[in-house]
Amino acid sequence: MNNKNYTFIDIFCGIGGFSYGFEKVDFELKLAIDNNLKLKETFNKNHNMEVFRELDLTKEVIDKLNNLNVDLIIGSPPCQGFSDARGCRIAKKENDLLRNSLSFAFLKIVEYFQPKIVVLENVKGLSTYNGGLLLNKILEEFDKLNYNACFKILNALDFGIPQNRERIFILAVHKEFKINPIFNTKIILQGIKANKPTLRDVFTDLPLKVDNQNYLKNYDEATPYQKIMRDKKKDKLYNHNILSYPNEKELELIKNLPQGKVYRSSRFGKKYIGVWDLYKAQLLQDERELLYFLCKKRTLNEFKELREKYQEGYIRIEKFPINNKGKFQFESFVKNSEEIKNRIPQKIIDGLIEKRFIRKRAFLEENNQFFAYDINTKSGIRPKYRRLSYKGQSSTIQTVSFKVNDLIHPVANRPLTFREGARIQSFPDNFIFYGSKTDLATMIGNAVPPLMAQYLGLFMQSLLDYITGKEKSVSFSRELKISI
């Protein structure tokens, strides 16, 4: 196979994680388009040529690119609004829904260039947004544009990338080639080791302390993943800094957080740790028990005062359980038959309010005011402060992942550095990010992992060989290597 055999365009390119992977398997990038100027320096300094153009996806693009012929178009239209986070989802008319989305602008470029293959990446939530309405409309539009299209949700974890990152990929092949495409994961994932790299494999060679030195540790042997990531030409490490340092209260919390645990008191399971355990040293036994009861019952209609959709919390004093002596007692928390020296619920609650673990709120019932009580941010009301584990992989790297109250380093009492996040995203160390700290968080969190893109690039290369008659089947046997 000749080098640079196929050409492509990257629409909504961002910093170019998607195109970086395709370039590494010999696709020739002809053009990359994004209207965010903050991304331009990072894109151009990490790709083979300066191809970034800050064009709006309108007639302006088409007018300037009249003579450009490409085999493939890839792209990642911005996903705001498609996520699975809670929020208001008001259904819109189908045509308005599509035409007002950036996915439609992407399709207009496809309509003009008519490439052989199109690959569109987006968040998993696109498949369920408005009951799948937008996804179905996109597939219908591909059909109108003379393409057979399919979609599949792929997880970066299956591509040897150390994070659980599910994204939807739409693959479309021009109807002139008379095939109905499928994402054949057996072919795409060929050669990938079954053992997933852990975070111990990813960045144990990076300094724990964040300072101005930023040199790699001198280990005799690096892990296979570290060998892929390292810059063989230099020991200097770039972007190994953090968004912000934890304050005193945050540091206290982080120090108590075990590896692999999420601080959230309103959910229960092996991965969560509750306030009654995290702050055990600061709490009396009956305070721990009352907090446990409050967290266990605050989502149930028969206990909570907030009843609207997505609302939870606030329990009135009468609903806190007591024993025959009027003292608080919650049987689910009692592990033995020793005498329980608990106080009355109000005394315990007053102490927890003073320690700022509980908040109170006034309610009206038949013109009578009463107070109800709930946990607060300090008590882990939201799924924040997730300490990663060296034994496992990361959750999805997002734009917010570098905040103090999001992903915490497995052993250092700080958030992830941008370089650690970049490695989790499979960006090699010689891929340098330029901009403010906030810009870097956005760049890394929004990117398509380059290693994942490489495997997809090999599959698209094989698919192009097949539809153009160069090969009789869609398969590949090339050993994938990342060149740093």
Residues 28 and 168 in one domain: yes
| Active-site residue (options: 13, 79, 88, 150) | 79
Q: Half-sphere exposure (CA, 13 Å, Cβ side) for 217?
A: 14
184 contacts: CB under 8 Å, gap ≥ 6: 459, 474
Residues 40 and 179 in one domain: yes
Please name every residue paired with 361 in a beta bridge, in sequence order, or none if there are none.
Answer: 372
394 contacts: CB under 8 Å, gap ≥ 6: 162, 163, 164, 199, 388, 407, 424
Query: Which of 159-177 are b and which e, b meaning 16 or more Cβ less than 10 Å from the residue's Cβ?
Result: bbbbbebebbbbbbbbeeb
232 contacts: CB under 8 Å, gap ≥ 6: 484
Enumerate residue ranges in the chain where pLDDT < 70. Answer: 1-4, 55-62, 64-66, 79-100, 211-214, 218-220, 332-340, 475-484
Answer yes or no: is 223 within a domain: no
**Concatenated DSSP letters for 198-224?**
PHHHHHTTS-SS-SS--B----SS--H
Domain with 162 in it: what CATH number? Answer: 3.40.50.150
84 contacts: CB under 8 Å, gap ≥ 6: 123, 124, 125, 128
Answer yes or no: is 90 within a domain: yes
What's residue 88's pLDDT? 36
What's residue 66's pLDDT? 67
What's residue 100's pLDDT? 53
Residues 456 and 372 in one domain: no
Residues 170 and 293 in one domain: no
Residues 452 and 371 in one domain: no
Domain that holds residue 345: 265-379
Query: Which of 454-483 are b and which e, b meaning 16 or more Cβ less than 10 Å from the residue's Cβ?
Result: bbbbbbbbbbbbbbeeebeebebeeebeee
Residues 322 and 461 in one domain: no
Which ranges of 66-132 does DSSP label H, i.e. alpha helix? 94-99, 102-113
What's residue 130's pLDDT? 76
What's residue 2's pLDDT? 44
**Any catalytic annotation for residue 13?**
no
Residues 365 and 454 in one domain: no
Chain centre distance of CA 123: 9
Q: Single out the residue in 363, 379, 395 at which a domain terminates.
A: 379
Structure-block tokens of residue 475: 């398969």
Structure-block tokens of residue 125: 């939530």
Task: Single out the residue of 471, 388, 387, 415 nearest to residue 187, CA to CA.
Answer: 471
Residues 12 and 122 in one domain: yes
Asked if residues 433 and 15 have their Cβ atoms less than 8 Å apart, the reply is yes
Tens-place pLDDT, residues 432-474: 999 999 999 999 999 999 999 999 999 999 999 999 888 777 7
What's residue 49's pLDDT? 76
What's residue 80's pLDDT? 53
The residue type at 215:
Y
Tens-place pLDDT, residues 391-422: 999 999 999 999 999 999 999 999 999 999 99
Residues 90 and 11 in one domain: yes
Q: Single out the residue in 329, 352, 379 at which a domain terminates.
A: 379
In the DSSP assignment, the letter for residue 103 is H
Answer yes or no: is 219 within a domain: no
In the chain, how many domains are there? 2
- Considering the entire predicted model, what is its pTM? 0.89
What's residue 59's pLDDT? 65
What's residue 89's pLDDT? 44
Residues 164 and 272 in one domain: no
Residues 347 and 463 in one domain: no
Q: Single out the residue in 362, 379, 396 at which a domain terminates.
A: 379
Answer yes or no: is 239 within a domain: no
Asked if residues 288 and 280 have their Cβ atoms less than 8 Å apart, the reply is yes
Residues 176 and 312 in one domain: no
Separation between Cα atoms, residue 206 and residue 208, nearest integer Å:
6
